[in-house]
Structure 1
Amino acid sequence: MTVKAYAALLRGINVGGKKKVPMGELRPLLSGLGFGDVRTHLQSGNAVFTTAADDAGGEDALAARVSEAIEGHFGFAVDVLVRDGAYLKAVADACPFPASALEGKQLHVTYFSEPVDASRLDGLDRAAFLPEEFRLGDRALYLYTPDGLGRSKLGEVLSRPALFKGVIATSRNWNTVTKLVELTGEPDHG
Structure 2
Amino acid sequence: MQTYVAFLRAVNVGGTGKLPMVELRAICERAGFGHVRTYVASGNVVFQSALPETKVKVTLERALEAYAGKPVGVMVRTGAELAAILEANPFSAAPPDRTVAIFLDAAPPADTLAKVSGSTTEEIALGKREIYVHYPEGIGRSKLKIAAARTGTARNMNTVAKLAEWTAE
Report if TM-score (shorter chain) is over 0.5.
yes
Asked if structure 2 preserves the Cα contact closer than 8 Å seen for 1:9 and 1:82, the reply is yes
CA deviations 1:29-66 (Å, max 9, x no partner) are 101111111000011000000112xxx1x222211110
Q: 1:172 aligns with which of 143, 155, 159?
A: 155
- Give the TM-score, by structure 2 length: 0.92
In 1, Cα distance between equivalents of 2:35 and 2:116: 42
* Higher gyration radius (CA): 1
Alignment of 1:17-166 (within 5 A): 17-52=15-50, 56=51, 58-97=52-91, 99=92, 101-124=93-116, 129-130=120-121, 132-154=122-144, 157-158=145-146, 163-164=147-148
Per-residue deviation, 1:151: 0.9
In 2, Cα distance between equivalents of 1:123 and 1:62: 31
Asked if structure 1 preserves the Cα contact closer than 8 Å seen for 2:8 and 2:74, the reply is yes
Q: 1:5 aligns with which of 3, 8, 12?
A: 3
Asked if structure 2 preserves the Cα contact closer than 8 Å seen for 1:105 and 1:149, the reply is no
Question: Superposition RMSD on alpha carbons, in Å?
Answer: 1.9
In 2, Cα distance between equivalents of 1:144 and 1:79: 24
Per-residue deviation, 1:152: 1.6
Report % sequence identity. Answer: 40
Per-residue deviation, 1:16: 2.2
In 1, Cα distance between equivalents of 2:115 and 2:30: 45
Q: Which runs of 5+ in 2 are unaligned?
A: none
SS of 1:69 mapped into structure 2: helix
In 2, Cα distance between equivalents of 1:76 and 1:13: 12
In 2, Cα distance between equivalents of 1:182 and 1:60: 23
